[in-house]
Amino acid sequence: MTNLNSLPPGHSLVETADGSFTLFSEFFQEACHSTNGAYDETVLHYVEGTKILDKIHLYDPLVILEVGFGLGIGFLTTLKKLPLQRKWHFISMELDKALLEWFKNEYQNHEFLKELEWIDEHTLQARNEWITLTILQGDARNRLPQYLMNNPIKWHSIYQDAFSPKKNPTLWTKEWFELLKNYSHPDVTLSTYSASTAIRKSLHESGWGVQKGEKFGPKRTSTRAVLQKETDPDILLQMERSPALSLRDAKEI
């Protein structure tokens, strides 16, 4: 993960505190991970945060949805952590086609990722007997509903890893979280690094039970969301006291 041979267009390399690297996007003006550790953050918020090490023994296949493929650290970390000979399907979404072309090229000698191929203009896929990786290229707000029309699927874990709500607001709205909820297994866990009151309100108003997540680096908390529990009373109180509004899709006039 740290020996990158080249850089995707419009990105620069950033070393993070645990020695792993992330990318800074010139377009979004934001890094893909916390500078306190891209790998450690991924383990804490996504591998541990969505409980995939437990769920892999409960579901066959385990279905993981990732919002924002980036440089693939979410997938590579999952591949490293999940046991062999269990079935799982990792569905991710990425706007930037050049970033995906770069990733495919960068990992062309990787045991599993060398199988990556475009199965249509906007879908990159690799599979073996146990693992399927499907990356939906395009704006997730259109591309995911389009994919779901032909692939009815329920996910067990969601890595909500878009850029920040300020930079990437359409992937944090009440309507977005409603869509994610509608295709979730009842035992789903959604996890994200963000602890913003606005995104917690978006989650709560779309019917998720919002819970506190672990702290990472200087951030005091993060967010987990489930369907089998109500929103944490401390978070309810905090939301009531805050003037922040939930994020909503812009209405077309």
Interface with ligand SAM by CB under 6 A: which residues?
Answer: 32, 42, 66, 68-74, 93-96, 99, 139-141, 161-163, 168, 170-171
What is the Cα–Cα distance from 241 to 117, expressed in whole angstroms?
50
Q: Which residue is nearest to ligand SAM (CB)?
A: 70
Reported as type and span, the H/E element at residue 146 is helix 140-150
- 161 contacts 192 by C-beta, under 8 angstroms: yes
Give me the least distance between CB of 91 and ligand SAM, in Å please.
Answer: 12
- Which phi and psi angles does 150 have, rounded to 5°? -100, -10
CA-closest candidate to residue 205, choices 167, 239, 160, 157: 239
Q: Are 1 and 73 in contact (CB under 8 A)?
A: yes
Q: Residue 167 Cβ, how far from ligand SAM at the closest point, in Å?
A: 8
For the CB of residue 149, give the shortest distance to ligand SAM in the complex, in Å. Answer: 17
Closest CB to ligand SAM among residues 188, 235: 188
| Closest of 76, 223, 207, 122 to residue 164, by C-alpha | 223
Q: Give 74 or 188: the residue with its C-beta nearer to ligand SAM.
A: 74
Least Cβ distance, residue 142 to ligand SAM (angstroms): 9
Of 166 and 229, which has the nearer Cβ to ligand SAM?
166
Cβ closest to ligand SAM, residue 64 vs residue 226:
64
